[in-house]
Amino acid sequence: MQPNKLLINLSDTQSILSIAKRTIEIESKAIANLVDYLDDQFAEAVQHILECNGRVVVSGVGKSAIIASKIVATLNSTGTPAIFMHAADAIHGDLGTVQQNDVVICLSKSGNTPEIKALIPLIKLRKNKLIGITGNMDSILAKQADFTLNTFVEKEACPNNLAPTTSTSAQMAMGDALAICLLELRGFSRDDFAKYHPGGTLGKKLYLRVSDIASQNQKPKVSVNSSVKEVIVEISEKMLGATAVINEDKVVGVITDGDIRRMLKKYDNISTLTAKDIMTQNPKSVTKDTLAVKALELLQEKGITQLLVLDGDEYHGVVHIHNLINEGIL
């Protein structure tokens, strides 16, 4: 097969950027126009989903099916149980996906695709509420749906006005609008979000606490009367760049690598010095229940690399900025 003849010189940066900018402008204008199409039916659809005792079953064919899958993922992650059902598979055995209390959302630019037309009466027969997301308000889907959400676009970003681009962007934006309305009306919080996103950096920012990190580190500590040699050995062996200074089981200070360097610069004779002579009093600390991301903010604000972790008055350990980097927090 011969490669397609290029219509532009690939070295022509301005031409390439012009096409990209035109595409984004067309799609962004189409999405902005959706604001004018929102009406009472949208609000009623949201209210019905909110009151629904079942799930949201989202269906479509072709590119609309891909967008339907994305909408399902967004709904599930923001507190609204949802499941994807391909419209073609639905009319060939998968209609059992739809349960008695479920609400069905069908996506179709034309609203007249054969699979959607075949699926609509089956949904109606089962007495499930149907929400249509379509760009054709004269279509079968628009007329038969209990609630119709208008995603009309004037043209696709494709120069031939064929490849689904602008229309799928509009569908996705409408799905996001549904999901965010439901999220806010449910009072879905950051803590709720963390429960649905326990993995990855996002989840860690929402649930990982400094105690989870400090418990994996060694626990450097010296007494106020420890010699400088003992302090240096403790810092070196525990490999956290610092050690807590303890007096009668309470933290009274911290000694860091920086404190050691400043001591060497200040004193010619260090043989008589002890931990209390070189420690920094009132060290920066956090409670063990502090979120790791909050600890990071404090480290950045103070321009330091480690924090002591406390459990009440009890010394719990150290969290280092490298720990946060390794966890993907930074």
pLDDT digits (tens, 9 = 90+) for 60-96: 999 999 999 999 999 998 999 999 999 999 989 899 9
User: How far from 306 is each of 132, 148, 185, 299, CA to CA, in Å?
Assistant: 54, 55, 40, 7
Asked whether residue 57 falls in the same domain as residue 128, the answer is yes
So what's the pLDDT on residue 201? 64
Looking at 10-14, 187-191, 199-203, 318-322, which range is the least confident one?
A: 199-203
Band (200; pLDDT cuts 50, 70, 90) = low
| Of the residues 155, 188, 221, the one at which a domain ends | 188
Asked whether residue 174 falls in the same domain as residue 29, the answer is yes
Q: Let me know if 234 is exposed, middle or buried by CB neighbors in 10 A (0-12, 13-18, 19+).
A: buried
DSSP string, 176-216: HHHHHHHHHHHT--HHHHHHH--SHHHHHHHH-BHHHHHTT
So what's the pLDDT on residue 6? 53
Summarize the confidence of residues 122-137 as an average pLDDT.
96
Residue 11: pLDDT above 70? no
Summarize the confidence of residues 144-152 as an average pLDDT.
98
Is 142 contained in some domain? yes
Is 178 contained in some domain? yes
Band (7; pLDDT cuts 50, 70, 90) = low
So what's the pLDDT on residue 1? 45
Asked whether residue 175 falls in the same domain as residue 222, the answer is no
| Of the residues 188, 223, 257, the one at which a domain ends | 188
Q: Tell me the pLDDT tens digit for each residue of 240-259.
A: 999 999 998 899 999 999 99
Asked whether residue 168 falls in the same domain as residue 19, the answer is yes
Asked whether residue 153 falls in the same domain as residue 240, the answer is no
Asked whether residue 179 falls in the same domain as residue 217, the answer is no
Spatial CA neighbour of 256 closest among 267, 265, 246, 244: 244
**Host domain of residue 278:** 210-326
Q: Tell me the pLDDT tens digit for each residue of 170-190.
A: 999 999 999 999 999 999 887
Residue 48 labeled ligand binder: no
Helical spans, DSSP H, in 78-138: 87-90, 114-125
Is 200 contained in some domain? no
Asked whether residue 247 falls in the same domain as residue 106, the answer is no
Is 141 contained in some domain? yes
Residue 107: pLDDT above 80? yes
Residue 2: pLDDT above 60? no
Looking at 9-23, 231-245, 256-270, which range is the least confident one?
A: 9-23
Asked whether residue 18 falls in the same domain as residue 150, the answer is yes
In the chain, what are the helix, strand and coil shares in percent, each to the nearest 5? 50, 20, 30
249: domain CATH number?
3.10.580.10
Looking at 9-18, 103-112, 144-153, which range is the least confident one?
A: 9-18
Structural domain total, the chain: 2
Is 8 contained in some domain? no
Asked whether residue 177 falls in the same domain as residue 216, the answer is no
137: domain CATH number?
3.40.50.10490
Is 204 contained in some domain? no
Is 259 contained in some domain? yes
User: How far from 292 is each of 43, 267, 288, CA to CA, in Å?
Assistant: 39, 37, 10
Is 85 contained in some domain? yes
Band (312; pLDDT cuts 50, 70, 90) = confident
So what's the pLDDT on residue 292? 87
Summarize the confidence of residues 22-35 as an average pLDDT.
97
Report the percentage of the chain scoring pLDDT > 70.
94
| Of the residues 156, 188, 220, the one at which a domain ends | 188
